[in-house]
Amino acid sequence: MQFNTLTLTLQNFITVLSGAYGRIQGSANTLLGILIGIEVVLLGLWTALGGGDNVVGVFKRILHIGAWVWIVQSYPTLSKALVESLVKAGLLAGGGSGDVSLLMDPSRLAGYGLDATEPLTRKLADLGMTDLSDLIVFGFGYLAIMACFLIMAINVFLAVLEYYLFAALAGILLPFGLLEPTKFLAEKAIGAVVSAGVKLMVLGLVTAIIDPVLSSIHFAGPEITFNELWSVFLTVCALMFLCWKAPSLAASLLGGSPHLGVDHALQAVTTPIAAGMAAGTIAGRVAQGVSATRAAAAMPQSGLQAASARGSAASTLGGGAGGGSPGGSASAGSSSAPQGANPSLVLSSTGKSGAAPAASPHPGPRA
């Protein structure tokens, strides 16, 4: 089935970015001339101050300037030759013919998905609302399988586009390699182009391997069983994960520690689930706090009035008991505090203790 949207978009980007360096080459040559002038002046000063005796050092600087000028002027040819050789190496290693156009047509991968799921779409069209369970299962399977094919196509699209973006913008930074304090800019630019080329090499290897497998994936007949559905989904999902992991594999290859395992897939699946659970827990705690605050604010005033009435009655009874005997006030005062209470923890409105300190049973002699 024809599906050329991604390929046409990629070709439009490549057409624009291929001429990007030609449009900024004048500025790059001007910057290169300025930096060459600075380098020649510094070389002349170094020679005049006694460095001219080191003839070897002078010739090294002259050769360095000439070599860097050649690199800047020949940058488009060199970068194209580098990336094409890397991609051809990856395609040949994967059993392909070495044709670079295999990576330039990401819509082909999406077309494989449309061809593979065509019997599934016909089965979904035949199902009605009475077959709700089958409709849900087959509908989910169709969406998952097509998502895997689209992710593979988009991954190839982004990898090729990444190289052209780096190649278009790295040329303006190459003249800075002439001077020692600014050469790190040129090194970073060259490293970015090489890294993008290595990514394309690894992706070309993976694409050359999975392309015949994807083109042969199809359902056996119009009667699709659940086992066949999940077998196709598992195969396509594994190939999608391999294609998705290829750019990071290239970065690990440059770092010297490539690794590919099922833990990456589990991490990719469990990360959004864990984030959703954490968000749900936080939302539940916030809802509990809001509910408690609203309940406290909505307390009826009748309960407060009833508590005040009970306190007044208790004080009245205490006063009557105190009036019946000469020592009633003392006994009432001593019984008003609850047993086991610490009077020093009850503070008055001024921040001091509400109870007087207890008198010592044996006061000392006065001074």
pLDDT (tens digit per residue) in 169-207: 888 999 998 888 888 999 999 988 988 888 898 888 888
Q: Are residues 65 and 71 in contact, defined by beta-carbon separation less than 8 angstroms? A: no
What is the pLDDT at residue 217?
87
Contact partners, residue 247, CB within 8 Å, separation at least 6: 155, 159, 199, 202, 203
**Is the per-residue pLDDT at 344 higher than 50?**
no
Measure Cα distances from 177 to 59, 171, 187, 195, 238 in Å: 18, 11, 7, 19, 43
Mean pLDDT of the region 144-157: 91
Domain layout of the chain by residue ranges: 5-273
What is the pLDDT at residue 340?
42
Mean pLDDT of the region 276-284: 53
What is the pLDDT at residue 338?
42
